[in-house]
Amino acid sequence: MKKTIAGILILSIIAVGFYTFKALGGFNEIQISQKNLGKIELVGIHYRGTPQDESLKNSFVQIEKLQKENSGSILHTIYYIEPAGKLDTMEVFVGIERRWLEDITGKQILSLDGHEAIVAEIEANRFVMPGPNKVKSKIEDFAKSNNMPAPNIYVDQILGPEHVRVIGIYQAEKK
């Protein structure tokens, strides 16, 4: 009797877990396509340091404020170096498209060639959203299967709390 109740309880917990995962979008596929996005000009702040540094938080706050002031603009982030821990060095660019700003004083301009961009669309709750390595792997697989150069820059666009677009771009090294 106790084994039956325990079995039913375990199966119920598993069923609720699967239902919750599905309801949050955990089984949603990453949609990948090739797009011509033209020239992408971003204006923002380049940060290099540790994740706990107050200037990282201030960089995001500044750009998010600009984004909110310019209805229709989208927050873009490019992680050049992702930290493995709280004290590791990280390098990130956070910005919005140049077309939304008139005054760019104190900001950096970053120009990217998005003519042969690979775009991944992810729609899921942040708790079940696939990790960056999985998304990058899918983009790289798409590039390989379509005889395209593997992207070396990944631009994350935060479109909503449950919608992220990752743009993979191959940028030739500048000499």
Contacts 24+ apart (CB under 8 A), 102-110: 104/43, 107/43, 107/44, 107/45, 108/43, 108/44, 108/45, 108/46, 109/41, 109/42, 109/43, 110/41, 110/42, 110/43, 110/44, 110/46, 110/78
Q: How confident is the model at residue 89 (pLDDT cuts 50, 70, 90)?
A: confident
Q: Whole-angstrom Cα distance, residue 60 to residue 153?
A: 20
169: pLDDT strictly greater than 90: yes
Which CATH architecture fits 31-169? Alpha-Beta Barrel (3.20)
Region 160-166: what's the mean pLDDT?
A: 88
The strand pairing partners of 40, in sequence order, are: 112
Q: How confident is the model at residue 143 (pLDDT cuts 50, 70, 90)?
A: very high
85: pLDDT strictly greater than 80: no
pLDDT at 175: 45
72: pLDDT strictly greater than 50: yes
* Cβ within 8 Å of residue 39, ≥6 positions away: 111, 112, 113, 114
Q: What are phi and psi of 155, to 5 degrees?
A: -100, 120
Q: Could you report the per-residue pLDDT of 49-67, keeping only the tens digit for each?
A: 888 888 888 888 988 888 8
R_g of the chain computed on alpha carbons:
20
| Domain residue spans of the chain | 31-169
